[in-house]
């Protein structure tokens, strides 16, 4: 059985869809602070918080057949992490320490961990491969890099096998339109653009037009959420067949500027995206493009949806059916910090 920590979030809920399709037995662990119960679509869940070690002990006690853990339960806003680093270190790093300790007590030694391109910081070259120097420019990136290092120590000390998947820009949604991206507050480019076009928020700001890129706006590598989910499944198979710890970068290997994404969005949704040029957002590197050669070589991973129009049209499918998002109100959770 797979324990999906943070399964009610954007990436986690797409993972659940794939696990259901593959008949993989699983249980979600989520505090529902940011995640949505409606995103579970029938997957079973256990309400708990990573920052409370007892919650973790209880879930492993209740489900002694858990053999693999996937972790998606991080705070992900780069800007917020600068303003509130404590929140990020408690959840993103100390929370994972609680998780791997609980795994150790439960004798579970397989983990798939959501890492990020943010661990690399300002790129020294692109595409960014796994060997690229790691020098995060935000507390968010620091917390994820710290976990990668912690997992190496747990591997050496306790035999924990962990696959760290470093996502570039996760985007799109399940083509069914049933689940999608709904963050509070929403800060990611594609949903922000769609919500501005729908009149659900004011004209969006283009953060910086003087970068050394094709049109002066930042270039990013947008990778379909289902392609990310598939990489997790490959990681589970690797770990279950006795595979050792690995690190992989996950992207399409192709970059698009902010303006190119906005133009594609307008074309796909057939509406203008109200936008204004604004200043640079602190901490944004000019260009981030992944090299995913290693995971394609090792496991044959290949994006099924590399095309930006497809990625945007799947995101659109979700938003036009759910202009208010999931419409639920995340629970008021009392988080105990021990």
Q: Which one of 13, 43, 114, 169 is in contact with ligand UFG (CB under 6 A)?
A: 169
Using rule CB under 6 A, residue 228 touches ligand UFG: no
Please state the closest distance from residue 278 (CB atom) to ligand UFG, in A.
7
> Which of 140, 167, 222, 305 is an active site residue?
140
CA atoms within 13 A on the CB side of 237: 12
Nearer to ligand UFG, 98 or 213 (CB): 213
Q: Which stretch binds ligand UFG (CB under 6 A): 51-59, 115-123, 172-180, 328-336?
A: 115-123
**Nearer to ligand UFG by C-beta: 223 or 233?**
223
Please pick, from the candidates 148, 182, 284, 317, the single residue that binds ligand UFG as defined by CB under 6 A. Answer: 284
- Binding string to ligand UFG for residues 253 to 282, with x set by CB under 6 A, is what? -----x----------------------x-
Is the C-alpha dihedral spanning 40, 55, 236, 290 positive or negative?
positive
Q: Does 189 bind ligand UFG (CB under 6 A)?
A: yes
Report the residue from 3, 11, 197, 204 that binds ligand UFG according to the rule CB under 6 A.
Answer: 204
Looking at the Cβ atoms of 85 and 243, the one nearer to ligand UFG is 85
Q: Indicate whether 168 belongs to the interface with ligand UFG (CB under 6 A).
A: yes
Beta bridge pairs of residue 165: 114, 248
Residues 6+ apart with CB under 8 A from 188: 169, 171, 181
Integer Cα distance of 177 and 188 in angstroms: 18
Residue indicated by tokens 């935000």: 138
Measured distance CA(10)–CA(86) in Å, rounded: 23
**Cβ pair 265, 190 in contact under 8 A:** yes
Size of the site for ligand UFG (CB under 6 A): 21
Q: Is 134 in the site for ligand UFG (CB under 6 A)?
A: no
Q: Is 192 in the site for ligand UFG (CB under 6 A)?
A: yes
In this chain, which of 31, 116, 249, 291 binds ligand UFG, going by CB under 6 A?
116
Question: Among candidates 251, 252, 254, 248, which has minimal Cα distance to 234?
Answer: 248
140 given a catalytic annotation: yes
Using rule CB under 6 A, residue 182 touches ligand UFG: no
Residue 181 touching ligand UFG (CB under 6 A) = no
Site for ligand UFG in 69-88 (CB under 6 A): 76, 78
* Residue window 285-324: x/- pattern of binding to ligand UFG, with contact defined by CB under 6 A: ---x------------------------------------
Draw the binding track, 13-52, toward ligand UFG (x: CB under 6 A; -: no contact).
----------------------------------------
Residues 6+ apart with CB under 8 A from 69: 2, 3, 5, 99, 103, 108, 110, 111, 112
Which is closer to ligand UFG, CB of 111 or CB of 117? 117
The radius of gyration of the chain from alpha carbons, rounded to an integer in Å, stands at 19
Q: Which residues are catalytic?
A: 140
Rule CB under 6 A: which residues touch ligand UFG?
76, 78, 116-118, 168-169, 187-189, 192, 204-207, 218, 220, 258, 281, 284, 288
């Amino acid at each position: 059985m797979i324990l999906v920590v943070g399964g009610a979030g954007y990436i986690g809920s797409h993972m659940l869809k794939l696990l259901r399709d593959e008949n993989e037995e699983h249980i979600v662990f989520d505090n529902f602070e940011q995640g949505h119960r409606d995103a579970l679509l029938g997957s079973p869940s256990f309400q708990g918080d990573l920052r409370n070690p007892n919650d973790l002990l209880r879930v492993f006690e209740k489900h002694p057949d858990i053999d693999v853990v996937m972790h998606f339960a991080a705070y992900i806003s780069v800007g917020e992490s600068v303003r509130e680093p404590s929140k990020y270190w408690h959840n993103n790093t100390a929370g994972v320490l609680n998780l791997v300790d609980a795994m150790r007590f439960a004798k579970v030694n397989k983990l798939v961990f959501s890492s990020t391109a943010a661990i690399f910081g300002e790129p020294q070259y692109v595409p960014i491969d796994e060997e690229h120097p790691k020098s995060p420019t935000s507390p968010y990136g620091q917390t994820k890099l710290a976990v990668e290092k912690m997992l190496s120590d747990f591997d050496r000390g306790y035999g924990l096998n962990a696959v760290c998947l470093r996502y570039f820009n996760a985007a799109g949604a399940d083509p069914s339109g049933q689940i999608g991206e709904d963050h509070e507050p929403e800060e990611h480019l594609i949903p922000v653009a769609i919500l501005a076009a729908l009149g659900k928020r004011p004209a969006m700001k283009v953060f910086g037009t003087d970068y050394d890129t094709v049109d002066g706006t930042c270039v990013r590598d947008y990778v379909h959420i289902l392609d990310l989910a598939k990489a997790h499944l490959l990681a589970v198979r690797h770990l279950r067949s006795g595979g050792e710890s690995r690190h992989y970068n996950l992207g399409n290997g192709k970059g698009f500027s902010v303006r190119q994404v906005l133009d594609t969005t307008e074309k796909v949704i057939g509406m203008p995206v109200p936008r204004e040029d604004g200043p640079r957002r602190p901490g944004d590197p000019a260009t981030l493009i992944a090299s995913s050669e290693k995971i394609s070589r090792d496991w044959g991973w290949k994006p099924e949806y590399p095309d930006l129009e497809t990625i945007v049209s799947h995101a659109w499918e979700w938003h036009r059916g759910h202009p208010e998002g999931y419409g639920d109100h995340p629970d008021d959770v009392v988080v105990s910090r021990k």
